[in-house]
Amino acid sequence: MLDTLKVRIYPNRPQEIALAKSFGCSRFVFNYYLNKTNNQYQETGKGMSYCDMAKDLTQLKKLPDYEWLTEVTAATLQQTLKNLESGLKNFFAKRARFPKFKSKHSQQSLRYPESCSIKNGGLKLPKLGIVKASISKSINAKIKSVTVSKTSTDKYFAAILFETDDLTNKKSGKITSIDLGLSNLVTTFDGKDFNQVEPIKPTRKYAKGLKRRQQALSKKKKGSLNRLKQVKRVAKVHEKIANTRLDFLHKLSRKLVDENQVIIAENLCIKGLARTKLAKSVLDAGWGMLLNFISYKLDREGGIFIQVDRFFPSSKLCNSCQVKHNSLNLSIREWVCPECKTHHDRDENATQNLWEEGIRILLTNTAGHAGIQACGENVRLVNNCVKKQFSLKQESPVTAPA
């Protein structure tokens, strides 16, 4: 199997210049052939394949105006063309958006697909030699590729892809469900006890310092050296916010994975939630990152990650009598079931329902959900001022299991 280790590297001045040339050449080749394949597609109805672009690149290097492309490793430029071809294939397969032209003002990156190794405690790269690196663990396997990136704060990182033995063992532990929220980032339930983790809200924590630096940036003259310096100061605050969030979510996901064998969570539509009035809080919480971290860490250690369908009414379903109440809105954090008179905490009730649904999915090995009609009736949110429309024909309602 393949594994990845991201490390920080510290190139010296000549190596920084060489990397800057490599970034520039890679960016130029990507933009040049993206534009060329667009023009060819408009003229002939057929774009350029990787082989066509690679042959054309060989001839392009021989032209006097493009001899500077020979200063960098040929394999990195060929890998850039492969990345472009993959982006186009993903677009036509409707898996991604159409590739965009790369900018020199955003994060720069390139991939070395061969001839990379660990030597003398550093990272040896083609035409760069040994670059000083902070490697946290030993890599004794074959290195497949190295992706070098430069952030907007002038920091360099290398993502090392290497082969490793499949050491996955059957993990032992509890079965826990987690409910994601804003007032409580995570509410967990293991069949007996509830635990809650409060969010750290890094964006709001550093909002005052970010505002002050952005105000100073707005007063700088465009194109001036002082403006470029201020841009980096603003970028450092954004980097601090991102690093704080990543550190917290990595530690939280590691704790959950270490303590549990099976984790059950809801498959949320985060892109949809990011278009609501709660967008800032939702994105600051990092729900998608947390679920992603839990998923790959469980997979590495032989655990099981179950995601319940997003339309499962975990918050509105009474855990005692299994009756669904559609009148609950987000402002109601505690409620009493009108049928069985049971008092519920919204987050704890949702976590219990997710736990039971996850156990059902685990036992039946079916990714289903209860209480939802297949045509999607009563799913879309409707404002009070909008007339609600119903479909002409409904399938037989499916009730939640007792």
Tens digit of pLDDT for each residue in 127-136?
Answer: 999 999 998 8
Q: Do 220 and 180 fall into the same domain?
A: yes
Between 169 and 196, where is the model more confident?
196
Judge if pTM exceeds 0.75: yes
Tens digits of residue pLDDT in 318-341: 888 888 877 777 778 887 887 787
Q: Do 138 and 248 fall into the same domain?
A: no
Q: Which amino acid is at 395?
A: E
Q: Is residue 271 part of a domain?
A: yes
Q: Is residue 378 part of a domain?
A: no
| DSSP character at residue 156 | E
Residue 208 has pLDDT above 50, yes or no: yes
Q: For residue 205, what are the domain limits?
A: 174-364
Take residue 183 and report the two structure tokens written for it: 């007032």
C-alpha to C-alpha distances, 183 to 320, 344, 347, 353, nearest whole angstrom: 24, 16, 10, 19
Residue 371 has pLDDT above 60, yes or no: no
| Number of domains making up the chain | 2
Q: Output the pLDDT for position 386.
A: 39
Q: Are 261 and 242 in contact (CB under 8 A)?
A: no
* Res. 214 pLDDT band, cuts 50 70 90: very high
- Rounded Cα distance between 188 and 257, Å, is 12
Tens digits of residue pLDDT in 28-75: 999 999 999 999 999 998 889 999 999 999 999 999 999 999 999 999
Give the domain-ending residue among 111, 139, 163. 163
Q: Do 196 and 83 fall into the same domain?
A: no
Q: Output the pLDDT for position 36.
A: 94
Q: Is residue 379 part of a domain?
A: no
Q: Do 202 and 111 fall into the same domain?
A: no
Q: Do 188 and 209 fall into the same domain?
A: yes
Catalytic site includes residue 266 = yes
Q: Output the pLDDT for position 368.
A: 44
- Rounded Cα distance between 102 and 156, Å, is 18
Q: Output the pLDDT for position 348.
A: 87
- Rounded Cα distance between 210 and 382, Å, is 36
Q: Output the pLDDT for position 223.
A: 87
Q: Do 279 and 328 fall into the same domain?
A: yes
* Res. 401 pLDDT band, cuts 50 70 90: very low
Q: Is residue 383 part of a domain?
A: no
Take residue 177 and report the two structure tokens written for it: 């469900």
Q: Do 85 and 31 fall into the same domain?
A: yes
CB atoms within 10 A of CB 252: 19
For 202-223, give one letter per residue: b (16+ CB within 10 A) or e.
bbeebeeebeebeeeeeeeeee
Residue 362 CB contacts under 8 Å (≥ 6 apart), including other chains = 175, 262, 304, 306
Q: Do 213 and 252 fall into the same domain?
A: yes
Q: Are 294 and 287 in contact (CB under 8 A)?
A: no
Residue 399 has pLDDT above 60, yes or no: no
- Rounded Cα distance between 258 and 172, Å, is 9
What is the secondary structure of 32-82 as a DSSP string? HHHHHHHHHHHHHS----HHHHHHHHHHHHTSGGGGGGGGS-HHHHHHHHH
Q: How far apart are the first and last CA of the chain?
A: 43
For 32-49, give one letter per residue: b (16+ CB within 10 A) or e.
bbbeebeeeeeeeeebbe
Tens digits of residue pLDDT in 242-292: 999 999 999 999 999 998 989 999 888 888 888 888 889 999 999 999 999
Average model confidence (pLDDT) for the chain?
A: 85
Q: Is residue 394 part of a domain?
A: no
Q: Output the pLDDT for position 382.
A: 39
Is residue 300 exposed (0-12), middle (13-18) or buried (19+ Cβ within 10 Å)?
middle
Cα of 238 vs its chain's centroid, Å: 17
Q: Output the pLDDT for position 169.
A: 64
Give the domain-ending residue among 123, 140, 163. 163
Q: Output the pLDDT for position 126.
A: 92
What is the secondary structure of 292-330 as a DSSP string? HHHHHHHHHTT-EEEEE-TTS-TTTB-TTT--B-TT--T
Residue 190 has pLDDT above 80, yes or no: yes
Q: Output the pLDDT for position 25.
A: 95
Catalytic site includes residue 301 = no
Residue 397 has pLDDT above 60, yes or no: no
Take residue 295 and report the two structure tokens written for it: 């998923």
Q: Which residue among the candidates 16, 190, 198, 266 is catalytic per the annotation?
A: 266
Q: Do 278 and 229 fall into the same domain?
A: yes
Q: Do 70 and 104 fall into the same domain?
A: yes
Q: Is residue 343 part of a domain?
A: yes
Give the domain-ending residue among 131, 163, 195. 163
Q: Output the pLDDT for position 274.
A: 85
Catalytic site includes residue 193 = no
Q: Output the pLDDT for position 110.
A: 93
Q: Which amino acid is at 158?
A: A
Q: Are 111 and 125 in contact (CB under 8 A)?
A: no
C-alpha to C-alpha distances, 112 to 60, 126, 264, nearest whole angstrom: 21, 8, 38
Q: Do 104 and 156 fall into the same domain?
A: yes
- Helices and strands: H and E segment counts in the chain: 10, 14
Q: Is residue 276 part of a domain?
A: yes
* Res. 167 pLDDT band, cuts 50 70 90: low
Q: Which residue among the candidates 85, 347, 356, 357 is catalytic per the annotation?
A: 347
Q: Do 187 and 96 fall into the same domain?
A: no
Tens digits of residue pLDDT in 66-89: 999 999 999 999 999 999 999 999
Q: Is residue 372 part of a domain?
A: no
* Res. 376 pLDDT band, cuts 50 70 90: very low
Between 164 and 239, where is the model more confident?
239
